[in-house]
A and B are shown apart, each in its own frame.
Chain A
Amino acid sequence: MAPVQTNEEIFNAIVRDNSEKLYWHVRRMVNSHEDADDILQDIFIKVWTALPSYRGEAQPGTWVWRIATNETLNFLRREKVRAAIRLSSVDAEMERRIMADPYFNGTAAEREFAKAVAKLPDKQRQVFIMRWWDELPYEQISEISGTSIGALKASYHIAREKIEAALNLKADELSK
């Protein structure tokens, strides 16, 4: 019989297995290292707080991703409200973050790609990032989001078309 793990041991395993992957996901969503770091802290505080009520209804990884994606979407909603109060827009803020990111070391094309992804609606962007960068299978994204695989595939397809259109537009601008 396997020894029973304490909540602290389970939590430590969750941190070791998921913190880096979740960081990259959140970082792609918010386009800021500092905000991603803050959100990660909040995510794992929630994980620790909710751990006693976790009854294994989903794999621990899926359960943690669910908390992480909700926490990130809530952060972005708050950012939208803050931006509206400042009479600004989140799209403009995301573009500014990508342009000014001191930890960005990609090519000009990768910057344009990141800007095109940042313009997607939040949930569509989340699906795109989970497939493209996090390389999660649709089955797992479906479990995390509670959305059918068909809907996810359609969402991803349309996101990809939007990104391609944005990149083609930029290429046309540069060729003139």
Chain B
Amino acid sequence: MTKNTDIRVPDGYFSDLQERLLTIPEAKSPRRVHLAPYFAYAASIAVLVLTGTFILRRTAVTLEEESSSEWSYLSYLAQSLDPDGATYDWKDTPLEDQDIVDYLVNDGVTLEELVSYEENH
């Protein structure tokens, strides 16, 4: 089987990709920030939040309990699927040889496969 011939890219894709990537420094360079408009936005948002809070406290039924349990469920779900957390970094948790078995089991390798590998090598 030959490699890298089974998938392709649109015509001219790689030159277009490089052109786009090379604009990143320009787009992400620090710029002088004019703070005055941000203070105006912040003040408007603060007024809206305070007004909203006042109205909600007086009129709305609290949904705190329900949203809290929904959030807990989502957090639980995310943690079960991603026990290492979103910031997991291989570089920061180097693996020693004695941890190979743990690593492979975490990687989805079954103990039967490990035994088979040991027996054949």
Q: State whether A151 touches B5 (Cβ < 8 A).
A: no
A105: contacting residue among B3, B6, B17, B109, CB under 8 A: B6
Contacts of B7 in A (CB 8 A): 27-28, 101, 103-106
- A106-B5 contact, Cβ under 8 Å, with A23-B17, A121-B107, A124-B108: yes
Q: Contact between A81 and B77 (Cβ–Cβ < 8 Å)? A: yes
Chain B count of residues within 8 A CB distance of the other chain: 44
Contact A19 B17 (CB under 8 A): yes
Residues of A within 8 A of B89 (CB): 70
The reply to whether the CB of B104 lies closer than 8 angstroms to some CB of chain A is: yes
Q: Does B72 contact A (CB under 8 A)?
A: no
Known: A44-B21, A84-B81, A144-B90. 8 other contacts (CB 8 A): A11-B25, A78-B86, A81-B82, A85-B77, A105-B8, A106-B7, A133-B4, A147-B103
Establish whether residues A151 and B103, one from each chain, have CB atoms under 8 Å apart when the complex forms: yes
A146 near B97: Cβ-Cβ < 8 Å: no
Check if A168 is an interface residue, CB within 8 A of chain B.
Answer: no
Q: B107 to A77, Cβ gap below 8 A?
A: no
A-B CB contacts (within 8 Å), total count: 129
Interface of chain A: mostly helix, strand, loop or mixed: helix
Q: Are B107 and A124 in contact (CB under 8 A)?
A: yes
Q: Is A74 an interface residue (CB 8 A)?
A: yes
A120 touching B113 in the complex, CB below 8 Å, given contacts A70-B90, A148-B97? no
Interface residues in A5-23 (C-beta closer than 8 Å to B):
7-8, 11-12, 15-16, 19-20, 23
Q: Judge if A164 is at the interface, Cβ distance under 8 Å.
A: no
Contact of A146 among B10, B74, B86, B90 (CB under 8 A): B90
Q: Which residue on chain B has the smallest CB distance to residue A150? A: B97
List residues of A (46-80) whose CB comes within 8 Å of B's CBs.
48-49, 66, 69-70, 73-74, 77-78, 80
CB closest chain-A residue, reference B86: A74
A161 to B90, CA, bound (A): 25
* CB of B116 to closest CB in A, whole Å: 8
Interface readout for B1-20 with A: 1 if CB under 8 Å, 0 if not? Answer: 10111111110001001101
